Amino acid sequence: MTAYKSTLSHKKGMSLLEVLLALTILSISLTGVLSGLVNGQRWFATTREMGQAAAVAQQEIERLRAMEYTAVEALAPQYTFAPDTETELSKHAPVGTVIITSINPNQVQVFSRVVWTDSMGGSRAEELTSLITKNGISKQ
């Protein structure tokens, strides 16, 4: 038994099996890390698109606020619009819809919705609602 121990204690380097096992563990670890990076990039792109869609919806509401109250009422009950700003969202065919609902003779509710196809091929929407009053003071 002493001769067997002395042979093992002088062995240098790693066997092929040890190298393959180390490479397998490394590749599994790197796969997990790379998967996390790809998912993080997709999440970031979706979040950026949502922010741009909210800005487009807000821009349309602001355009309506700048109009005369009677002109806003004349657009009721609904119309669609194409965003006129060049953003990353423009690549995903956004379509905007505005629904105008009269709450009383002096106030309308404006619902602005932007729908687009996200970078992963799914349908997304961002929505905002605002009140526009006849005397020009509006609340969000």
Q: What Rg do the C-alpha atoms of the chain give, in angstroms?
A: 30
Preceding omega of 105 cis (within 30 degrees of 0):
no
Q: Would you say 124 and 118 are in contact if contact means Cβ atoms under 8 Å apart?
A: yes
Q: pLDDT tens track of the chain, all 140 residues? A: 555 555 555 567 778 888 899 999 999 989 888 888 888 888 888 888 888 889 889 999 999 999 898 899 899 899 998 877 676 677 777 888 999 999 898 999 999 999 988 877 888 899 999 999 988 655 55
